[in-house]
Amino acid sequence: MRTDSKLKLNWEKAYLLGLILPLLTSCLPSQSGQSKKSSGGSVSNATYTVNPNYGRYFFDNPIINSGNYNLSTSESLSLHLDSDQKFITNNQFLIGSCNFGSQQISKCFEVKEDESSGYLSATENRWAFNPSTQTEEFLQVQTFGNMRDMTERFHNSLEWSYDISQGYGYNSAIPYELTLSDDIPFWYKSGLLKGYADCDAENNAYYDPSSKSVCLGSITAISTALYMATDPTITYHELGHAYTHININMRHRAHEMDIDVDSSLGQVFYDEAGSIGEGLSDFYSFYMTERTHFAEWGLGRYIGQSRPMTEDDSLHAPGINLGSSGRLSYPEFVNYDPNEPNVPYEDVHYSGQIASHFLHAFYTSLLAKNLVDSDYGVYYADKDEDGTNEAYSYADSLYHCGMTKENAKNMTMHLVFETLAELGDQTATGFGDLSNDPNDYKVNLDPENALEWINLVKPINYRSFFQTFSKYFLQTLGNNAFGMCNGLAYDRDEYELLLDRYGLLLFRTYNQDGNNMNSGHSGTHTSVTNTNRVNTVLIDKNMLKLDERADSASAFVIDGQADILSAIESLILSGQITSISEQIDDSFAYNNGNAQISPGEVVGIALNLYNNSNSPMGGIQVLANDWDHFKDKKPCNNLGDNFPLDSEGAANLSSDEGVQGGCDYVTRYNGKDSFNEPDEELAPVCFVEYSDADATKWVNQNLYRQEMGLSANKCLGGSDSLNDCLVRVIKGGDQAYFSKLNPKSTWTETLKNTTTGTPTFTTSNVIFMEINPSIPPGTTFNCRMRARFTNCDDCYHDEDNAQDDYLDYEFSGAKPFKLINFQFTVID
């Protein structure tokens, strides 16, 4: 028996094992599943480095992971990939499920390379692909990981929000039926959101609501392409558009309204609804990363278009800070690009920054003080105006509600969810129970007209969004009975002051009673404390007018053939306009570019509006849609413009006040209810000067047509549309937006967008009209358009009803608007 040698051998073996084993175990992948930056050295992300169903992707962008703001696309992203492996899916393909309450959608989202590709399969059940050598595969796993993480978080927040809305007993816009409706109002009715990780969109990424997909393109102009999918903040931004789309359609989906046409945020190239949508999407990026900068890699690194979300970001221009007067305020900063601060530019992404900055500031105010201390530190400002910037604690100067980060994020999103659910509601109930009772219609007039109100007549702008946001703030955080801030209510004055720092205290009451024609003034509408309105300036609507200065044009006419061809093509491609009259030549051959309006042309009219006040105006909107300004086929002259004179054919005002058919009566149903309002109809904006033997009068176009002997089938809209027979505003080109007018300035002077002396416009600045080829030259038209702006006082507040908001039906008429009469004579 050779025990000694055996023992010795065993000890040797044990000694060797003791040396080798620790080395082996250190090679096994960890399964934390948490995002962790690489600590130097590359992650090969090869198949063997992960467990089955696992892979790796960026939770935040490579610049943040690497700390290198000069990171190059020629560098391997493996160097900076999150080192910990993450669970991807145990499905065969990149298809994910989602849960909301007790409901599960098994096919909730999916990812492919692009729309026409097949599904990616795992390699040996593993989803680890090298970003450099297996780019297409990696991009798909990357996108899937981000979609899965964000969708899960979105639904968690929505559940949190639902619990608040149902548990606290206030008039919520979040519908009770959110979890019960067959139309799946917490997601898409079809159930599937698609992500395309490399969809060949150059210098672009987009959300396509018609196919419910997110497309992530690339920047190919650099030698090694930069794929948008490698910057998760861009993916989060695009997904933000998708969640906003779901949110804004939530109520009528919950009510199972059998409608096809969705509500949306934004209609034209530039408008404030679109701006708010972009700001929300930027904030969704913060919602995921808790960082206040968006797209350093995807947009910042090579094209210098990343965006901050807080004033102490180093990208901001001097003078912008977290002090009370240094905020990114409305409307001052609507055209501000932090990458090029001296060049104002009208774009929804820039004006959206006001929304993202406010939302972040509001979120911060919800935090406990110690959280603000640790994350936000100090800011520098020259408060004592001694020429030297001193350090001030951000935390000290802020209000603190005392929440955790998670609760603060959820609460901020809760108010966003409430706001969009109400403002996009096509049931028109807005908040509270869903019903078909006209007495419950509190927003967007009524179901038949809701889309027209949302898209055109009363679109979402900075005022309506933040008034509604504030209403739900007041009903939750601001409610003493709920004690959401460490047992207390969030101080309402502090909130109004915060809102005012951003120029967003644009409303005089919180309008809790809504806008129903019968009850809109009889409920609660808590007044804002006027002394809290320091930075926000409300301006009288009469301060807005056409430029009447010497040597100024009242409007610019775009009638060059090339310009009109480009404009109409752009509008048709984007779906903004749907049709042009058959009376108009296919190639716009009648467009002669003589700056006059001639028969047979399609023209663009850019009104040269002037701000006659001493404060900037924001969100100027011109409406050229049909409205209630004619009675008995004659123009009313009691609408504020005193036009036309009685002797010039104005409607007879002798009917009883407030009775249908009279000029002081506004249709309650937008002229569409011939049963309840047989004498009410809307009229096109343009009417005609007609001279007979006795006098010169202003008449509707159909009367003029009859006098000139033009047959009905020669009308622009055919024999079915006689009231706009001769001059017709193109549907979809019937509203124009201007982002800002500086004091005592026009839009072109504000944007300084002319180097040759002639301004240029985008399609959203222009009203488009068709001019009938049969119009006799010399015929004079007057187009009575309506205009308003966001920080207008008497465009929204009814001084006859304690400054409560005008009722919805009143927006069919003149009261909420400044009337702009644009006259022209048709020249051959």
* Choice between 258 and 657, CB closer to another protein: 258
> Which window, 42-50, 324-332, 629-637, 754-762, contacts another protein (CB under 8 A)?
754-762
The residues in 711-730 that bind another protein, with binding defined as CB under 8 A, are 720
Compute the least distance from the CB of residue 702 to another protein, in Å.
Answer: 15
Q: How far apart are the first and last CA of the chain?
A: 123
Query: Read out DSSP for 563-582?
Result: HHHHHHHHHHHTTS-----T
Compute the least distance from the CB of residue 817 to another protein, in Å.
Answer: 23
Helix (H) or strand (E) holding 145: helix 135-167
* Choice between 82 and 446, CB closer to another protein: 446
**692 vs 821: CA distance, rounded Å:** 23
Q: Which of 78, 94, 76, 73 is nearest to 45 (CA)?
A: 78
Which residue of 574, 614, 638, 652 would you call a contact of another protein, by CB under 8 A?
574
Query: Which residues, listed in sequence order, are joined to residue 792 by a DSSP beta bridge?
Result: 539
Q: Which two three-digit tokens encode residue 138?
A: 């990696």
Compute the least distance from the CB of residue 194 to another protein, in Å.
Answer: 7
Task: Assess 758 for contact with another protein (CB under 8 A).
Answer: yes
Compute the least distance from the CB of residue 670 to another protein, in Å.
Answer: 12
Using CB under 8 A as the binding criterion, the count of chain residues that bind another protein stands at 88
Task: Assess 575 for contact with another protein (CB under 8 A).
Answer: yes
Which residue of 565, 653, 708, 819 would you call a contact of another protein, by CB under 8 A?
565
- DSSP state for residue 712 in the 8-state scheme: G
**281 vs 241: CA distance, rounded Å:** 6
* Choice between 362 and 588, CB closer to another protein: 588
* Choice between 264 and 772, CB closer to another protein: 264
Task: Assess 604 for contact with another protein (CB under 8 A).
Answer: yes
Query: Read out DSSP for 61-84?
Result: -HHHHH--TT--TTS-GGGGS-SS
Binding mask 500-529 for another protein (x = CB under 8 A): ------------------------------
The residues in 184-243 that bind another protein, with binding defined as CB under 8 A, are 188-190, 192, 194, 196, 199-201, 203-213, 215, 219, 237-238, 241
- Whether residue 248 contacts residue 277, with contact meaning beta carbons closer than 8 Å, is answered with no
**102 vs 108: CA distance, rounded Å:** 15
Compute the least distance from the CB of residue 457 to another protein, in Å.
Answer: 15
The residues in 633-672 that bind another protein, with binding defined as CB under 8 A, are 672
Which residue of 5, 102, 587, 654 would you call a contact of another protein, by CB under 8 A?
587
CA 484, 486, 491 angle in degrees (round to 5)? 65
Dihedral Cα 806, 812, 816, 820, nearest 10 deg = 180
**222 vs 12: CA distance, rounded Å:** 59
Task: Assess 828 for contact with another protein (CB under 8 A).
Answer: no
Residue written as tokens 């798909």?
140
Q: Which two three-digit tokens encode residue 746?
A: 């026009």
**457 vs 682: CA distance, rounded Å:** 13
The SS3 call for residue 604 is strand
* Choice between 743 and 773, CB closer to another protein: 773
Query: Which residues, listed in sequence order, are joined to residue 403 by a DSSP beta bridge?
Result: 367
Compute the least distance from the CB of residue 674 to another protein, in Å.
Answer: 8
Which residue of 325, 552, 674, 719 would you call a contact of another protein, by CB under 8 A?
674
> Which window, 284-292, 363-371, 416-424, 573-581, contacts another protein (CB under 8 A)?
573-581
Q: Which two three-digit tokens encode residue 169?
A: 């007993």
The residues in 777-816 that bind another protein, with binding defined as CB under 8 A, are none
The residues in 242-261 that bind another protein, with binding defined as CB under 8 A, are 258-261
Task: Assess 358 for contact with another protein (CB under 8 A).
Answer: no
Q: Which two three-digit tokens encode residue 356?
A: 């993202």
The SS3 call for residue 105 is strand
Task: Assess 262 for contact with another protein (CB under 8 A).
Answer: yes
Binding mask 436-455 for another protein (x = CB under 8 A): ----------xxx-------
Q: 162-169 long-range CB contacts below 8 Å, 24 or more apart?
A: 162/101, 164/414, 164/476, 165/414, 165/418, 168/476, 168/479, 168/482
The residues in 291-330 that bind another protein, with binding defined as CB under 8 A, are 299, 303, 305
- Whether residue 42 contacts residue 15, with contact meaning beta carbons closer than 8 Å, is answered with no
Q: Which of 346, 260, 267, 249 is nearest to 731 (CA)?
A: 267
* Choice between 270 and 704, CB closer to another protein: 270
Task: Assess 569 for contact with another protein (CB under 8 A).
Answer: yes
**621 vs 623: CA distance, rounded Å:** 6
Binding mask 328-357 for another protein (x = CB under 8 A): -----------------x-x-x--------
Compute the least distance from the CB of residue 325 to another protein, in Å.
Answer: 30
User: What phi and psi, each to the nearest 5 degrees, are found at residue 821?
Assistant: -95, 120
The residues in 90-149 that bind another protein, with binding defined as CB under 8 A, are 114-116, 118
Task: Assess 277 for contact with another protein (CB under 8 A).
Answer: yes
Task: Assess 264 for contact with another protein (CB under 8 A).
Answer: yes
* Choice between 26 and 210, CB closer to another protein: 210
> Which window, 162-170, 354-362, 588-596, 818-826, contacts another protein (CB under 8 A)?
588-596
* Choice between 188 and 394, CB closer to another protein: 188
* Choice between 270 and 817, CB closer to another protein: 270
* Choice between 101 and 209, CB closer to another protein: 209
Query: Read out DSSP for 235-300?
Result: HHHHHHHHHHHHHHTHHHHHTT----PPP-S--SSS-HHHHHHHHHHHHHHHHHH--SEE-IIIII
